[in-house]
Amino acid sequence: MRTTKSAIFVITLMLIFSILIANVTNILNHEDSYIVGGKTKEKHFSSRRAIPQITDTVDNLIWFLQISDIHISIFRENSRITEFREFCHLTLDVIKPTVVLATGDLTDAKTPDNIGSQQNKGEWEFYKDVLKEANVLNKTIWLDIRGNHDNFNVINFESPQNFFTNYSIQGKEHPRSYLYQIEKNGVLYSFLGVDACLKPGPRRPFNFVGLLDNQEIDEIKLLIEKVEESKSDHTVWFGHFPTSCIISQSDGIRSLLRTLDQGMVYVCGHLHTLGGLVSNMYTLQKDGFLELELGDWKDNRRYRLMAIDHGLISFTDVGHREWPVVLITNPKHALFVIPEKENIESIANSTHIRILAFSMSKITKVQVNIDETGWHACIHKNGPLYVLEWDPSIYRRGLHHIKVFVKDELNREKTISQPFSLDGTRLSFELLPRIALMGNVSIIFKGVFYVFLVLLLLPIISYRFTHKLVIQGKMRKPVMRKGLLKSWIRKMWVLSSIDRLFWPIVLYPIYLSFGPWSVGYIIEDHIGIVFPWGTFVNGSFLPGSFTYAYGTLQLLALQLQVLILANGVDYRFRYHVSKPGLKKSFWAHISLNLPFAMLMILQIIMAYLFWLAYGTMAFVLGPLRTWSVILTGVLWHIALTLPEKCTREAAMVWNTKSEISIQTDDNVNDSNVN
């Protein structure tokens, strides 16, 4: 029987591990190389024109900027607004982009305590005023779109909280997804924005993952048809949420992006470099397009320079006030080649190296060095374009490195280096960015929740089952040496044998797996009901996703609760079995009750934060947070006041003094008094 129980436990762990491995393998099982010269799937260029040879002209070239997660706030860090004003005044004047993509979270929308969330008119006024003062609309085409912060506490488009409509550039004409097309030098460029904000938009924290309902998907399909009918040459998708953070009710977001042959890249924000863990979050999706997440303006002051040069897309992420800004457009960076969207042979057939260089003062020097063979001066052609004639046949095989040095009149210097390849040799994207962008956070959040649920319930249920078998004489009690392991096995075993503790410990986590978790004002003056699998509010259903991540924190607290209760129950058990009872010193009482006190403080803080986020009703009618505090206190009181009759069954198994020896519990500093 012992073998059977162990086998079940091992099989369960193997199943969980296999699921995780399968998902990671699915992400990593991606072709990282391709072959040129007729064997790769080349881009099907528009019938409007053929892509000419890459030479030294400024034709077939466009450059634009992306800025994301600005988080304009009137409560904290005024430099966000000050430096955003500098970006709109100075950076745009220097770079002169054709387009600026502002990909969401334009405002912070947090309350002064940094916990609650609601739209703040003052923040939107700052956003609008900065753009107006900088005369942005006369400098460039500003394409902004909403992020989840811009949607906090917004019940619908007619809501007085929906400031995006009146204070953004595109909001009045394009409140959701939209298409903007630009023709330059006979080349048609399409910029297709995807708005995946929840509809309606709850307050934080249940507003982290985006959603494309069937209505929005149909709207995007209409935009795709317009792109195809116009025979657009190049399409850039943009939005706030990475594709991994978007739930779709029918066609997945990636399948929509795959629809357009000329859809080269999807740029987004939202993840903020994952707290600094992933500073550069890029990947090539299996559906054949690049996905590029941009680090935030809020904390990192980043923006992105992008260019489409003769059908090849290149980019660089730049820190604010970092000059010069340099981008090599030919030869393209080997990591970011898009085999199904770009004709890589155009690099092999090109006549010139091409570089875009910008600075606050006049650029005096641009030099190129390939494979450390010496520096060569570039020629300035027009605007930011610098070129150098080259013979690409020298670099036909393998991976090579190009280095560019740029200097301006104020002696500010920038040196960049990137690999390139003409025969299909490529590099692999880093693991964490691939997982973050190619995965599905909804599945991950849900999977982690249920894994922790199993890890919480499986041990105590196993001990309960084993205990019953031992009592019935169908199984022998495990024989182990004295020590810390045996001590904690006894503690968990005793806890599982006491009905008044076992059933609440088991049933409450099971309840959390289906809910409801809370009832309260989820959005404005609208009462909603939160379940782990979704939220009902104002006649709408928002599928659960981040709710599972939120619930996982509660399961972690419950895991601590089980360990603390096991320690308390074991103390009471030994009190009854070791007659006339145990007397504990002052420090022993502290060591027994301190973990419980710390757990209670933690749960009270989490309940308080929930109250700040959703109000009094949600706090009172909150089984997830508030009621768990009460349950924890009640169970601890039960554990420390258990009558002897409740421990008799456990004593039938753990009934010898050697098994409950105080020597195995030095951590509580008990002492027997005869």
Q: What is the CATH number of the domain that holds 198?
A: 3.60.21.10
Confidence of residue 656 (pLDDT cuts 50, 70, 90): low
Tokens of 557: 């607290």
Judgement on whether residues 430 and 462 belong to the same structural domain of the protein? no
Q: Is the pTM of this model over 0.75?
A: yes
- Domain boundary among the residues 438, 453, 475 is at 438
Where is pLDDT greater, at 7 or 614?
A: 614
Output b/e per residue, 116-137; b: 16+ Cβ within 10 A: bbebbeebbebbbebbeebebe
pLDDT value, residue 440 = 92
pLDDT band at 408 (very low <50, low <70, confident <90, very high): very high
Instruction: Please calculate the CA angle 512-515-518 and round it to the nearest 5 degrees.
Output: 105
Nearest to 630 by CA among 596, 595, 592, 603: 603
**What is the structure's pLDDT at 349?**
93
| 159 and 219 belong to one structural domain | yes
Query: Per the structure block, which two tokens stand in for 633?
Result: 């206190």
Res. 287 pLDDT band, cuts 50 70 90 = confident
Statement to judge: residues 192 and 212 lie in one domain: yes
Handedness of CA 375, 380, 384, 388 (dihedral sign): negative
Nearest of 433, 370, 439, 429 to residue 405 by alpha carbon: 370
Full 3-state SS string of 283-350: EECCCCCEEEECCCHHHHCEEEEEEEECCEEEEEEEECCCCCEEEEEECCCHHHCCCCCCCCHHHHCC
Q: What is the pLDDT of residues 432-447, one digit of tens each?
A: 999 999 999 999 999 9
Q: Are residues 387 and 445 in the same domain?
A: no
Q: What is the pLDDT of residue 670?
A: 41
Q: Which two tokens stand for residue 381?
A: 């052609």
Q: Are 374 and 330 in contact (CB under 8 A)?
A: no
Least confident of 32-46, 500-514, 601-615: 32-46
Over residues 149-186, the pLDDT tens digits come to 999 999 998 899 999 999 999 999 999 999 999 999 89
**Left if phi > 0, otherwise alpha if psi is -120 to 50, otherwise beta: which for 111?**
beta
Do 419 and 367 fall within a single domain? yes
Tell me if residue 358 falls in helix, strand or coil.
Answer: strand
Q: How far apart are CA 432 and CA 97, in angstroms?
A: 31
Do 392 and 354 fall into the same domain? yes
Residues 312, 431 within the same domain: yes
Alpha helices in 621-670 (DSSP H): 626-640, 648-651
Burial (CB count within 10 angstroms: exposed 0-12, middle 13-18, buried 19+), residue 75? middle
447 and 405 within one domain: no
- How long is the chain? 674
Name the average pLDDT for the chain: 88
Confidence at residue 484, expressed as pLDDT on a 0 to 100 scale: 79
Residue 671: pLDDT band (50, 70, 90) is very low
At residue 166, what is the residue type?
N
Structure tokens at 131: 């753009």
pLDDT for residue 19: 52
The predicted pLDDT at position 475 comes to 82
pLDDT at 483 over 80: no
Tokens of 529: 């009901």
Q: pLDDT, tens digit, for every residue of 290-347?
A: 999 999 999 999 999 999 999 999 999 999 999 999 999 999 999 999 988 888 899 9
DSSP-derived 3-state class of residue 265:
strand
* Residue 631 confidence class, pLDDT cut points 50, 70, 90: very high
Output the pLDDT for position 39.
42
How is residue 148 written in tokens? 């989840």
Distance CA 114, CA 120 (A): 13
Is 104 within 8 Å of 239 (Cβ atoms)? yes
Q: Are 550 and 512 in contact (CB under 8 A)?
A: no
Q: Are residues 193 and 63 in the same domain?
A: yes
CA atoms within 13 A on the CB side of 635: 30
Burial label for 427, CB within 10 Å (0-12, 13-18, 19+), is: middle
Q: Are 454 and 509 in contact (CB under 8 A)?
A: no
DSSP summary character for residue 659:
T
Could you tell me which of 533, 536, 507, 540 has the C-alpha nearest to residue 519? 536
Tokens of 112: 């002064």
For the beta carbon of residue 77, count every other beta carbon within 10 angstroms.
14
Domain that holds residue 623: 441-672
Q: Are residues 562 and 482 in the same domain?
A: yes
Name residue, tokens 């007619």.
158
- Res 27: pLDDT: 54
Same domain for 336 and 474?
A: no
Q: What is the mean pLDDT of residues 15-34?
A: 52
pLDDT in tens, 185-216: 899 999 999 999 999 999 988 999 999 999 99
- The yes-or-no verdict on residue 666 having pLDDT over 50 is no
Distances (CA, A) of 487 to 5, 274, 589, 661, 672: 20, 40, 19, 9, 17
User: With bands split at pLDDT 50, 70 and 90, how would you rate the model's confidence at 32?
Assistant: very low
Out of 438, 467, 486, pick the residue that ends a domain: 438
Radius of gyration of the chain (CA): 31
For the cut 60, the answer to whether the pLDDT of residue 668 exceeds it is: no
Encode pLDDT of 559-610 as tens digits.
999 999 999 998 888 877 765 455 667 777 788 889 999 999 999 999 999 9
* 241 and 163 co-located in one domain: yes
Domain count across the chain: 3
Question: Domain end: 421, 438, 455, which one?
Answer: 438
